[in-house]
Amino acid sequence: MEILIEILGWIGSVLIVGAYAFNMQGKLKADSPLYIWSNLLGGIFFVVNTLAHKAYPSAMVNVVWVFIAIYSIIKARKAKSSIK
């Protein structure tokens, strides 16, 4: 189980930092589904990892990160449905 938690932490970091790097290079917009979903999954994986390590302040930051991503997904879906 420990190895799974570590793998999730590493995948989470690659997803979040990778999305951010592509965003900063202009290759991925902040409102693109890939960017938002990378942040959501990366945040969830970080929550699992940080809770397992009892790093509660980091876990809280990542919980907020996940809620921001969820809000962004909901906002994008509402905007998309209002266009139709």
Spatial contact of 31 and 72, defined as CB atoms under 8 Å apart: yes
Residue 46 binned pLDDT confidence (cut-offs 50, 70, 90): very high
pLDDT of residue 60: 97
Q: How far apart are CA 60 and CA 41, in angstroms?
A: 15
The span from the CA of 27 to the CA of 35, in Å, is 10
Q: What is the DSSP secondary-structure string of 32-64?
A: SHHHHHHHHHHHHHHHHHHHHTT-HHHHHHHHH
Q: Which two tokens stand for residue 81?
A: 């449905």
pLDDT for the residue numbered 84: 64
Parse the chain into domains and list their residue ranges: 2-83
Model confidence over 17-44: pLDDT tens digits?
A: 999 999 999 999 999 999 999 999 999 9
pLDDT-based confidence at 82, cuts 50/70/90?
Answer: confident
